Structure 1
Amino acid sequence: MLKHVTLLGSAALALSIATQTAAQDEITGDTVVAKVGDTEITVGQLIIARAQLPQQYSQFPNEALFDGLIEQLIQQQLLADALEEVPSGIEYTLQNERRSLMAGELVNAISADAVTDEAIQAAYDAAFADVEEVNEFNASHLLVATEEEALAAKARVDEGAAFADVARDVSTGPTGPNGGNLGWFAPGAMVPEFEEVISNLEVGAVSDPFETQFGWHVATLNETRVQPQPTLEQMRNQLANDIQEAAITARLDELAAAQEVVKPTVGDFDPNIIDRLELIE
């Protein structure tokens, strides 16, 4: 956390570092901004420290953070130098962090090369090149307990009553209050008996009563359409992820084939060793 430690003080640095007077356009990540003994603290380290601050520090201007970050790095170095023996846990952590950061750098490079607009467009075209058109249905229905009730409801519709009004009056299903409208659905979304009836209706026609596991229905087909395909923009993130994963997997396979990779076999180690912190103390 960014803070000044009273014990160590927060006096302004009075170091004679030649690069402090260098022109701004001559500064690099290796430019030295401070020293603790023989240890140099560089602009690159300062930038990383800034990037790793908690989110709440994003509201502060750099002018308010600069001196505090330098002071923090100086204090950390003073404390680090005073540590007489580096615990093995720290060494293992640094090894893992280095491995992770280096792997992440290559992953980013692989992704940047593989995930291009052209690759995404090609993947989109390939995904939908041979997709068959699927008809979707927009239908309404009413649900009652008995065939007699269904016949009576159908008779009211045949006599001129609006289907939605009859559904609101008699339907016991959850869509009753909105006139029985089921919205758009594709084949396979409804129970087979219901889908068969809807598939054989003309738009605007009303079915005879039919039974499903839920009770007795009367249905009407409001509209049909060809199921719209997702757009490239809707699919972009998924396609990019797929391309990235495939590229990384291919590179991993290539790298693994070029080296000898040895893994433990079953029984070589007790899986519970991953919890044994005493091994690194």
Structure 2
Amino acid sequence: MTFRSPRAAFAAALLSAAALGVAALPAHAQSPAPATPPAAAAPAPGATDADPVLARVNGIEIKKSDLTIAEDELGGSLPPQLQGPARQEYVLGFLIDLTALAQSAEADKLDQAPEFAQQLAFAKKRLLMQAALSKATKAAVSDAELKKTYDEALKQQKPEEEVRARHILFRVEDPKDEKASAAAEAKAKDVEAKLKKGEDFAKLASALTEDPSGKENGGDLGYFTKDQMVPEFADKAFAMKPGEVSEPVKTQFGWHVIKLEDKRQKPLPSFDDVKPQIEQFLAQKAQAEAVQKVRDAAKVEKTTAAPSPADLLPKTDAPAAPAQAPKP
């Protein structure tokens, strides 16, 4: 079951654009953490057991809370094989390098450059935007709202039939190859005859089918809806009764012999199955609405220097003026 919002793409695009605006920090993978961890320091004044000081760089403290912030910021860029204490040590090494480089940059007065002030202002706005979107998300994604959205989605789901079937396939690589098609049809008819004599379908499928995925499970396709199979196969399977075996059926893949195992109404997903999707849907919806609300309330004035919609159109060269006829 999929939950969609007309504004979901807008919210996703906004968040992606915000992410692209972040200046990349040096990859810590190129500056591994020192093999010997820094010596344990005495607890700093005011430090608590919940947020201990992990290291000091020229007197500047790095706390456990700093580690959490850095880990969230780095996100998927961290090597996936690093988990637990190794991951924390890796991030701490990154923070040590980051702090030392920041101190060096301040010593060189790089923070006094005009462009630095612009970048700092942009970073502040980006963080404030993230805080606002996070606030909107927390308010929207409650247990009650999750359950309400799930119940509303279930009401919109129409009952859908699905079947479980097995098949034995004899492939025809080129549908236009009549000789190969006739040979595959003959094999399918031979199987049909064996089944009429009482041979086991699953055993024949494991021995004869040319569908690689069916050899280990006796040709079992599991449950599927009508739109999940090619029309010729689906029409035949859904017209059968459980226990029935079809005559050879031709599709674009070759010739099939089908056995219908079961028919049922497709079960609806449980709340736990789709809870992550609902959370994502509600978060995107809340964020898009929050953005639209503040945008509608804001007084926006674009100057003549701003790009206009016409600037987005591809440029075309004007047709050349016709050559002037020579005077007699």
TM superposition score normalised by structure 2: 0.59
CA pair 249-151 structure 1, distance change in 2 beyond 3 A:
same
Which residue of the partner structure matches residue 187 of structure 1?
226
Shift of 1:24: 6.8
Q: Among 230, 251, 254, which residue is 1:215 paired with? A: 254
Which residue of the partner structure matches residue 31 of structure 1?
none
Which residue of the partner structure matches residue 167 of structure 1?
205
Q: How does 1:207-246 map to 2 (within 5 A)?
A: 207-246=246-285
User: C-alpha distance in 1, partners of 2:271/2:293?
Assistant: 31
Greater radius of gyration (CA): 1
Shift of 1:115: 0.8
Q: Deviations along 1:142-197, whole A, 9 cap, x unmatched?
A: 12343333222111111111112223343333345232222221111111111111
Q: Which runs of 5+ in 1 are unaligned?
A: 3-11, 13-19, 26-33, 270-281
- Structure 1 residue 134 and structure 2 residue 160: aligned? yes
The answer to whether the 8 Å contact 2:105/2:111 transfers is no
Corresponding letter in the other structure for 1:172: E
Structure possessing the higher relative contact order (Cα contacts under 8 Å, 6 or more residues apart): 2
User: C-alpha distance in 2, partners of 1:215/1:120?
Assistant: 46
Corresponding letter in the other structure for 2:287: I
Corresponding letter in the other structure for 1:58: Q
CA pair 100-153 structure 1, distance change in 2 beyond 3 A:
same
Q: Calculate percent identity across the aligned residue pairs.
A: 23
Corresponding letter in the other structure for 2:154: F
Shift of 1:210: 2.3
Corresponding letter in the other structure for 1:121: K
- Structure 1 residue 123 and structure 2 residue 149: aligned? yes
User: C-alpha distance in 1, partners of 2:99/2:198?
Assistant: 83
Secondary structure in 2 aligned to 1:184? Answer: strand
Q: How does 1:83-162 map to 2 (within 5 A)?
A: 83=109, 86-144=112-170, 145-146=181-182, 147-162=185-200
Q: CA RMSD in A?
A: 3.9
User: C-alpha distance in 1, partners of 2:134/2:236?
Assistant: 53
Shift of 1:130: 2.7
Shift of 1:250: 1.3
User: C-alpha distance in 1, partners of 2:221/2:250?
Assistant: 17
CA pair 92-143 structure 1, distance change in 2 beyond 3 A:
same
Corresponding letter in the other structure for 2:308: T
